[in-house]
A and B are shown apart, each in its own frame.
Chain A
């Protein structure tokens, strides 16, 4: 205890050194630069969106018209496409990732852990354009021949699995995004689970709990806050992903209840349209889509933070 106090005083005294003050200001400057960067991006997007904001107003957000011939644009299908494709991705990726993380930290034999972790991290390193190619040429033909007909016969009473399917569609985009989100959620969740104190587990075992009960009561409930954070990181990846989505979603400016229908996300639509946007209003509308994407991302993160706060009690937070 005495030792600790001594160290603290020493550090305090050190803080008055000229070099340390420079260091402090320098790091502050760097931290502020991040804010400035986001602010500038938002500002630039807003400036270029002006013609479109001026012309369409709030109507831009609720209109699903995208008509370059008559210069009328609306963002609704892309907002919905972004949210729904990311939601599908999480629906698929979260159970897989959490289960993998639990297996890796709690159940897997030690010799298997390292190779498995390596493979998962390798999955994260695949460039999205390669995943997109794989999606278009390997995954979609398989989905079209096997999974989609099966979904149609078993769950066809739901509006999500009706209507024509060509192959590239919203569901295919969700699956590709899930593949991209799995490594992120898995590795962060694994770190969280690893940081759950061993005492927790031992206490539960001492009470006679089974493997499953230990995992559920002692580990998962303790780590849920952190796992939630991991999911948010995965969501961030899914919301902004462009290349892989463009290749499998079918690129139509429409949103339909049927997941078999082609659609678009904000990011994929900007990417496909940007090079050939000739009319000034068209060009400006694409910038406004970018502004909307920034807004959606910020909003989703705020909602996530609020949800995180409602999880009371002890827990491990993600270190990101």
Chain B
């Protein structure tokens, strides 16, 4: 009996060893960056096992800034960022970095009002709220956009992301494109100097959503998926055609289709033309070096990206991301073919 047990355990060890050596034959691809992309990546990695079982992924969702930094330090195979890299950062890189839009998403304007009425807002009003020029919810400017809504005499508490964030980039990029005053005083960036003595900062989209939920009269911005999951009311935004549009994968896709996208894919898609386009939306990019160091890993990475940009889009659409339009997919595939191993 005892002998049998020992033999069995030896056999077990043997099996484990065999499995271990099987794992070693797999290619490991490391990535780091955007938290916004993380749900899409983890779903893709899971499904991609059935496409290519010889590749394993390790993605650290440490934030766009961290992703850019790790790519520059060459500690990862790819980075992911919600804001395109600046010319300055690209100039400091040890090699040419390519940008590939991988997912796109809308930024919802969430708020907390008694009874949570559905509101309509425009960019100018939003800028004035975040500049501190509109202080009360029953301000005539908000009332004019929302006839028939009973607005309370309540202080507005604007909430923003305290740390650098791609979502902040999209949000401030939008306000900069709409309001000249905003462009002059605050500007756009992953972190900006917010107007003094106004509002609150919170860490992460979950932090912003948490404070909006807590504070009556608060307004904040965050990825649409978060607003939906936390069941926070969000506003319809006026787009460049004067139509009020709700954030949704379809309205973000419409924005992507009409946005001007240059050949290096470093673009901004806020406030694009098109009647159905939601104005506050942005893409998130995968960043890779054009010259790959490791031929095997490089090849596997390109294969995966080709899959994610095409077939993967149907999967990510289920997670509230907007699918990339067909023409963008084709252009990205062409750029992917320029990667050298």
Chain A positions within 8 Å of B, measured between CB atoms, are 65-70, 136-137, 140-141, 144, 164, 166-168, 246, 250-254, 256, 261-262, 264, 272-278, 282
A166 to chain B, nearest CB (A): 4
Cβ-neighbour of B201 out of A136, A140, A251 (below 8 A):
A251
Contact A250 B200 (CB under 8 A): yes
Chain B positions within 8 Å of A, measured between CB atoms, are 62-66, 68-69, 89, 155, 157, 162-165, 186-194, 196-197, 199-203, 210-211, 214-215, 218
Contact B63 A276 (CB under 8 A): yes
**Docked CA distance A238–B201 (Å):** 21
For the complex of A and B, the 8 pairs showing the least CB-CB separation, nearest first, are A276-B164, A251-B201, A276-B65, A251-B162, A67-B193, A278-B65, A275-B63, A68-B191
Name 25 A/B residue pairs within 8 A (Cβ), A-sorted.
A66-B193, A68-B190, A69-B189, A136-B210, A136-B214, A141-B214, A144-B215, A166-B200, A167-B215, A251-B201, A251-B203, A252-B201, A254-B197, A256-B197, A262-B199, A264-B201, A272-B201, A273-B164, A276-B63, A276-B64, A276-B65, A276-B66, A276-B164, A278-B64, A278-B68
Cβ-neighbour of A68 out of B89, B193, B202 (below 8 A):
B193
Q: Number of A-B pairs whose CB atoms are under 8 Å?
A: 93
When C-beta atoms are compared, the residue in chain A nearest to B62 turns out to be: A275
When C-beta atoms are compared, the residue in chain A nearest to B162 turns out to be: A251
Cβ-neighbour of B65 out of A140, A168, A262, A277 (below 8 A):
A277
A73 to chain B, nearest CB (A): 10
Interface of A is mostly: loop
Contact B65 A275 (CB under 8 A): yes
**Docked CA distance A69–B86 (Å):** 13
Cβ-neighbour of B192 out of A69, A141, A246 (below 8 A):
A69
Given contacts A137-B214, A251-B162, are A275 and B200 in contact (CB under 8 A)? no
Known: A68-B192, A251-B200. 14 other contacts (CB 8 A): A65-B193, A68-B190, A68-B193, A69-B189, A69-B193, A70-B193, A166-B199, A166-B200, A254-B197, A264-B201, A275-B63, A276-B65, A276-B165, A282-B191
Contact B189 A68 (CB under 8 A): yes
Cβ-neighbour of A275 out of B66, B155, B214 (below 8 A):
B66
